[in-house]
Structure 1
Amino acid sequence: MKTASDEIPGPPGIDRRTLLRGGAVAGLGALVSASSVFAAPNDAGPGGPEPSADGLMLTKFTDPLRTPPVLRPRDRGGYDELTVRMRTADVTVHSQLPPVRMWTYEGSFPGPTIETVRGRRLRVAWENHLTGNIPVTAVDFGQMGGPMPDPLSNHPGTEGCQEVPGVAGLQPWAVVHLHGMLTGGGNDGWMENLVGPGDVQLSAYPNEQAATALWYHDHTHHVSRFSVYAGLAGLFVIRDEEERALGLPTGRHEVPLVLSDRNFALDGTGALTGRLVHKVEMVGMRLMRALAAPYTLVNGVVWPYLEVEPRWYRFRIVNTANSRIYRLMLLADGRPVPGAFQVIGTDQGLIDKPLAVDGALNLSSGERADVLVDFGAFRGRSLKLVNTMEGVTPGASSTRHDLLEPDVMQFRVADRRPSAHFTPPRTLSAAFRRTAPGDLPHEGAARWVVLAGPGSQNMPELWEMEEVAEAEAQGITFPAAGIVQVKDAEGRVTTLRRTAMRYDDGSAFTVAHEGVEIWKYLNLAASPHPMHIHLAHFQVLSRDNYDVSGFDQAVRGSARPIAHLGAAKLEPHELGEKDIIRVGTAGQIRPGPNGTPGELVTVAVRFPVVGRGVHHCHMLEHEQHMVRPLVVGPAGHQHAGGHHH
């Protein structure tokens, strides 16, 4: 059976949007079961179960990939409507593991894939029916002298750890953010506008954006790292006529791959219990590393397999992990398949033409990629999708890099004649084009955001900056706290002064509705950070390497300018419209406070909606500290009435 978007054929002379609306049913909406959507073929292929890394106990490739059910809204005339219930459920994630208690949307993990049509306004009632305290045991561990070569987070259980205070008693408050939806601040899921059990969050989404895959998740302030880990995440797909006309793979040949990682508790006998464990390492007993759990889940199944035909497939990949960066490669007989991924879309929709990935497909937390893969040359064989690290042989483990088990899933290609019914289109979206110099603003200074790494409180810091006039900069003695100088490729030095750092520092970036701004993200830390802007979408203009050794970590300012080293290459999935971008080297973190080259990522941001939102790091373990408010308002309101009040 085809996907919900293609369930009803579109004969000539009948508007497909009308057909989709007419096909919706009353009640909560049309919920199509997982077995009938994106289903795999029934005939067995090659490959088979394999043992996982020592100590993980679960057998890889035992369970077939499960695809979330599709939930379609009902027609209310001028708009569509949907009710989605958050509820506590026991979810099977592996046949050798007891059911896992989770907080879910509609009882599944991930939640149902909400499928909509562009231009149909959507109203969603997010009902909170959650029960009990959060079903997650939060612990941490650490030792003096730096990170462990084989941290306890590589392994299940809580031995050697201490419980994180205040988590076990967390009650089921929630707020839903539809990540990537261009909607006003009142409907964006403001992280402090919580709803408790029995209450409902009402959100209206314009749905006026290109066909793409978004995702929805909990955004509760201070605790999203635990609530999303508990299971509150799901996929949201927008369809439109441009996408349909391309004839891309559909039905069982269009497969969502929702990536995440988890850890589990052990009982007194050393057996896995299925209880979720959020386990992080404290470096020097104070600095929290980002979460990296040993079990990889795809669509809520630990190390699944998928039976495929020898033909082209479309994969909608989304990284919903708290913090882990997935550097994905497809291996055949243990060797990478060159150009295996053909990127056709990014966070916010289709690009102009397919682009082959050279090396790994790097997706940080929150990023999405729409890719085509051709299994035609692999009939009767099995392949693996693996997570990799720079400097580590693809498919090999690296305990130091939290990669005890690198395998993600297995593909079993049927032994039959390859299908030649599909050829990737040369042109994808006629509406998409890369931002040209003439599209950029020529007035006003760029926004600067500096990612400064751990400060005096051993917490990662996000600094909002302003440019300092050259005359004023000459009077500064360097290094000075909160002052950073940057020398660009032409040798020009820009002096930046910190204006805000903490969430409640008071001031906020205030931007004009329908405006275009240049934002510059400068990473001075050893860790990469995925940066997300609400109420906006953007294109990445450039990625440049910088020498950050001139930054004085103790003083928290630059002793000498942060100097340009050279341009870095943008990856295919970074060339389209986006709402999140990784700033920092993917796949490798070298020791020392300035052990990895810094990066400056420049983006052109557009603000099509108004309201109060935030911009922040999407590593959920950093989100509490690396988040700042953002206000988008009508341009005329900013100066109305003069300055008499």
Structure 2
Amino acid sequence: MDPTASETFEPSGPDRRTLLRYGTLAGLGALVTAAPFFKSDGAAAATAGGPETSAPELKLTKFRDPLRIPPVMRPRDRGNHDELTVRMRTADVTVHSQMPPVRMWTYEGVYPGPTIKTVSGRPLRVVWENQLTGSIPVRAVDFSSPTGRSPDPLTNYPGTAGTQVVPGVSDLAPWAAVHLHGMLTGGGNDGWMENLIGPGDVQLSAYPNDQAATTLWYHDHTHHVSRFSVYAGLAGMFLSRNEEEEALGLPEGARDVPLFLSDRNFDVDESGALAGRLVHKVEMIGPQRLMRTHSAPYTLVNGVVWPYLEVAPRWYRFRIVNGANSRMYRLMLLADGQPVPGALRVIGTDQGLVGKPVAVEGALNLSPGERVDVLVDFSAFRGRALKLVNTLEGITPGTSNKLNDLLEPDVMQFRVTDQRPSNGFVLPQALSPTFKRLTHDDLPHDLAQRWVVVVGPGSTNIPELWEMEEVDAAGITFPSAGIVQVQDAEGTVRTLRRTAMAYDDGKTFTAAHGSVEIWRYLNLAASPHPMHIHLAHFQVLSRESYDITGFHRVTRGSSKPIAFKAAGVLEAHELGEKDVIRVGTAGQITPNATLGELVTVAVRFPVVGRGVHHCHMLEHEQHMVRPLVVSPGAHVQAAAQMHAGGHH
């Protein structure tokens, strides 16, 4: 099927369900091509703001180009299900008007890919068609800092001077595996990372699409090399709607704006001018060559470097996705250089609407893979310009920090038109009557307990993800490799033993279909990690800080218990249904930190099959990943009985 062909829908009557499915405009095709750049609603009016210079080394003007809205794809009705074809194509993409187009691997020739819009409750079948050509359009390089972290690393700047080529990347062929991140679908349709399709082949995926109205995203999930394939451009957004959401009368049309955040670096030519080539650049520290978390100096919003958006003095809805490889965005809205407390009001998280709007008083911390749905009221800023910035803990919002790869903190500019504000929207006091915030008291006390421990680089010089089981401490010598003791807030000490670490280790976590489990993520490393679970969704129950001085980094075990320090506070975007959670302090990474973090989540397993759970920092994904199996409950019980009875 040709996804760009026009198709006119002619509903039999103007019922609400039909309008939800097909939109209110006649002539919607499978691919609705948006104008090249976003146009504001309302009458033309004077606005403040304008282009600004960036750091001289970055060579581009900020806020020169308007925000681009990705085209929309809507599936076709096939009776009892909807259907869509999405093509992967190699394309040259304009990311800034002052530099040449950038060669990328894309969905449908655009970056990010088209926004797929569906209606919750309509099963969806997608044909993901691989039409990619050539080897991967990414130049991967690294550089060494033998004496420790550079105070001003080369990752702050474009080009490859002072670096060396990472072998084996430039020849990567266009194999692909598409994961619709956050879709609750069985393992056979989840985009298993080793079930690859080459050029000319297709991935056929059937999605139940019966979850809450929400913002998901799709991206490549090719095992071992997803950090390069997603960086090459294979990512896009997926929105589902339902009648509950429609009844709220939220801002729509031009005031319902997707914001897909990512960071990139680019090569330079012989003259030093920016060239249209992607550069993936990382710093390797010390004689062990430990890889620092990837960060790039250019922030892209919807594929445009530091764009601007003209808005009316009204309420707007922004669906924000952190699609960066590893960068955590700590977002603030500034007016005249000062933060605007409560400007961002969270109405939804990874998996749908929350019960009521929650104002963000400080920064909105969004780690890779997380999504957030926010409302912003621009009516108080008529004729003014505001900035959305990325910042770090301990620095003045809007200022740079070279040590932590924040040479240019600006994300985008909002230009508020000088016209009379509209009072047509009132912020709802209640959002989703079907959402229920879980507490410990809502959960049975006999739930299965899982422990996942994140530790810093070991003998292989990479961070590690340990699956653990609780054991008796009798006869164990401390410290011992893979043994960690944890003392909770009540003083109870648990002894945990590592059961698996590498991807192909045995003893996979197996959950029963329809069950709920408690997972405890303990971070013993200095760096935060965003943890993602396939085939499931969860609510975050608590965030607590722990003293991790008892962990012996050489022996790889605890010499004294990892001890509870204090209860933490969940952030506004952590109060709803989720599939990614940051474990570790957001903001500035502190080397040799003595505080770790324990995050407890209640996980539901509504689908069956083989999936994975992993860190969503893509530079960690190939080694901080473990299989996960969800089986029918009777199968799990039968397996346990046969094992206990010695049957084979």
Provide TM-score, normalisation by structure 2.
Answer: 0.95
Aligned twin of 1:514: 514
For residues 551-576 of structure 1, what are the alpha-carbon distances to aligned partners after superposition, in whole Å with 9 as ceiling and x for unaligned?
00000000100000000100000000
For residues 229-257 of structure 1, what are the alpha-carbon distances to aligned partners after superposition, in whole Å with 9 as ceiling and x for unaligned?
00000000000000000000001111000
Tell me, yes or no, if structure 1 residue 461 matches structure 2 residue 464: yes
Tell me, yes or no, if structure 1 residue 363 matches structure 2 residue 361: no
For residues 391-413 of structure 1, what are the alpha-carbon distances to aligned partners after superposition, in whole Å with 9 as ceiling and x for unaligned?
11000000001100000000000
Q: CA deviation at 1:383?
A: 0.4
Tell me, yes or no, if structure 1 residue 622 matches structure 2 residue 624: no
Aligned twin of 1:156: 158
Contact persistence 2:347–2:357 (CA under 8 A): yes
Aligned twin of 1:236: 238
Aligned twin of 2:194: 192
Aligned twin of 2:438: 435
Aligned twin of 1:609: 607
Q: Which amino acid aligns with 1:202?
A: L
For residues 171-209 of structure 1, what are the alpha-carbon distances to aligned partners after superposition, in whole Å with 9 as ceiling and x for unaligned?
000000000000000000000000000000000000000
For residues 513-538 of structure 1, what are the alpha-carbon distances to aligned partners after superposition, in whole Å with 9 as ceiling and x for unaligned?
00000000000000000000000000
Aligned twin of 2:376: 373
Contact persistence 1:8–1:20 (CA under 8 A): no
Aligned twin of 2:555: 555
Contact persistence 2:320–2:371 (CA under 8 A): yes
Q: CA deviation at 1:43?
A: 4.8
Q: CA deviation at 1:40?
A: 2.3
- Indicate the SS of the match to 2:346: strand
Q: For this pair of structures, how many residues does the alignment match?
A: 633
Q: CA deviation at 1:15?
A: 3.1
Listed as ranges, the matches of 1:101-500 within 5 Å are: 101-285=103-287, 286-469=289-472, 473-500=473-500
**TM-aligned CA distance change 1:438 to 1:239, over 3 Å:** same
For residues 573-592 of structure 1, what are the alpha-carbon distances to aligned partners after superposition, in whole Å with 9 as ceiling and x for unaligned?
00000000000000011122
Contact persistence 1:140–1:281 (CA under 8 A): yes
Q: CA deviation at 1:44?
A: 5.2
**TM-aligned CA distance change 1:10 to 1:331, over 3 Å:** farther
Contact persistence 1:143–1:282 (CA under 8 A): yes
For residues 423-458 of structure 1, what are the alpha-carbon distances to aligned partners after superposition, in whole Å with 9 as ceiling and x for unaligned?
110000000011133432322551000001100111
Contact persistence 1:328–1:360 (CA under 8 A): yes
Q: CA deviation at 1:144?
A: 1.2
Contact persistence 1:127–1:199 (CA under 8 A): yes
Provide TM-score, normalisation by structure 1.
Answer: 0.96
Aligned twin of 1:533: 533
**TM-aligned CA distance change 1:65 to 1:37, over 3 Å:** closer
For residues 124-164 of structure 1, what are the alpha-carbon distances to aligned partners after superposition, in whole Å with 9 as ceiling and x for unaligned?
00000000000000000111121100010000000000000
Give the distance between the partners of 2:539 and 2:494, measured in 1 at CA: 23
Give the distance between the partners of 1:403 and 1:117, measured in 2 at CA: 39
- Indicate the SS of the match to 2:635: helix
Contact persistence 1:464–1:499 (CA under 8 A): yes
**TM-aligned CA distance change 1:105 to 1:245, over 3 Å:** same
Q: Which amino acid aligns with 2:156?
A: N
Give the distance between the partners of 2:184 and 2:234, measured in 1 at CA: 21
Give the distance between the partners of 1:28 and 1:422, measured in 2 at CA: 27
- Indicate the SS of the match to 2:590: coil
Give the distance between the partners of 1:376 and 1:174, measured in 2 at CA: 45
**TM-aligned CA distance change 1:170 to 1:25, over 3 Å:** farther
Q: CA deviation at 1:26?
A: 13
- Equivalent in 633, 638, 644 of residue 640 of structure 1: 638
**TM-aligned CA distance change 1:431 to 1:21, over 3 Å:** closer
Give the distance between the partners of 2:480 and 2:18, measured in 1 at CA: 62
- Indicate the SS of the match to 1:107: coil
Give the distance between the partners of 1:108 and 1:43, measured in 2 at CA: 31
Aligned twin of 1:4: none
Give the distance between the partners of 2:25 and 2:610, measured in 1 at CA: 35
Give the distance between the partners of 1:627 and 1:264, measured in 2 at CA: 29
Contact persistence 2:40–2:312 (CA under 8 A): no
Give the distance between the partners of 1:169 and 1:20, measured in 2 at CA: 45
- Indicate the SS of the match to 1:573: helix
CA RMSD of aligned residues (A): 1.9
Aligned twin of 1:3: none
For residues 41-71 of structure 1, what are the alpha-carbon distances to aligned partners after superposition, in whole Å with 9 as ceiling and x for unaligned?
4655210000001200000000000000010
Listed as ranges, the matches of 1:30-41 within 5 Å are: 30-35=30-35, 39-41=39-41
- Indicate the SS of the match to 2:56: coil
Contact persistence 1:382–1:411 (CA under 8 A): yes
Contact persistence 2:133–2:199 (CA under 8 A): yes
Contact persistence 1:329–1:359 (CA under 8 A): yes
Q: CA deviation at 1:114?
A: 0.0
Q: CA deviation at 1:598?
A: 0.3
Contact persistence 2:502–2:623 (CA under 8 A): yes
Q: CA deviation at 1:335?
A: 0.3
Contact persistence 2:513–2:605 (CA under 8 A): yes
Give the distance between the partners of 1:378 and 1:523, measured in 2 at CA: 41
- Indicate the SS of the match to 1:242: helix
**TM-aligned CA distance change 1:540 to 1:262, over 3 Å:** same
Contact persistence 1:441–1:517 (CA under 8 A): no
Tell me, yes or no, if structure 1 residue 597 matches structure 2 residue 595: yes
Give the distance between the partners of 1:281 and 1:386, measured in 2 at CA: 24
Contact persistence 2:36–2:68 (CA under 8 A): no
Q: CA deviation at 1:284?
A: 1.2
- Indicate the SS of the match to 1:243: helix
Q: Which runs of 5+ in 2 are unaligned?
A: 1-7
Q: CA deviation at 1:506?
A: 1.8
Contact persistence 1:85–1:128 (CA under 8 A): yes
- Indicate the SS of the match to 2:611: strand
Q: Which runs of 5+ in 1 are unaligned?
A: 1-6
Q: CA deviation at 1:38?
A: 6.5
**TM-aligned CA distance change 1:22 to 1:393, over 3 Å:** closer
Give the distance between the partners of 1:31 and 1:20, measured in 2 at CA: 17
Aligned twin of 2:5: none
Give the distance between the partners of 2:151 and 2:224, measured in 1 at CA: 30
More moved, 21-30 vs 414-423: 21-30
Give the distance between the partners of 2:294 and 2:262, measured in 1 at CA: 11
Contact persistence 1:486–1:493 (CA under 8 A): yes
Give the distance between the partners of 1:235 and 1:347, measured in 2 at CA: 12
Give the distance between the partners of 2:367 and 2:518, measured in 1 at CA: 22
Give the distance between the partners of 2:52 and 2:113, measured in 1 at CA: 28
Give the distance between the partners of 2:257 and 2:511, measured in 1 at CA: 38
- Indicate the SS of the match to 1:55: helix
Give the distance between the partners of 2:22 and 2:303, measured in 1 at CA: 31
**TM-aligned CA distance change 1:146 to 1:27, over 3 Å:** farther
Q: Which amino acid aligns with 1:143?
A: S
**TM-aligned CA distance change 1:24 to 1:186, over 3 Å:** farther
Give the distance between the partners of 2:218 and 2:486, measured in 1 at CA: 37
Aligned twin of 1:523: 523
Give the distance between the partners of 1:37 and 1:21, measured in 2 at CA: 25
For residues 461-516 of structure 1, what are the alpha-carbon distances to aligned partners after superposition, in whole Å with 9 as ceiling and x for unaligned?
000000012xxx03111100000000001111010000000000022100000000
**TM-aligned CA distance change 1:43 to 1:89, over 3 Å:** farther
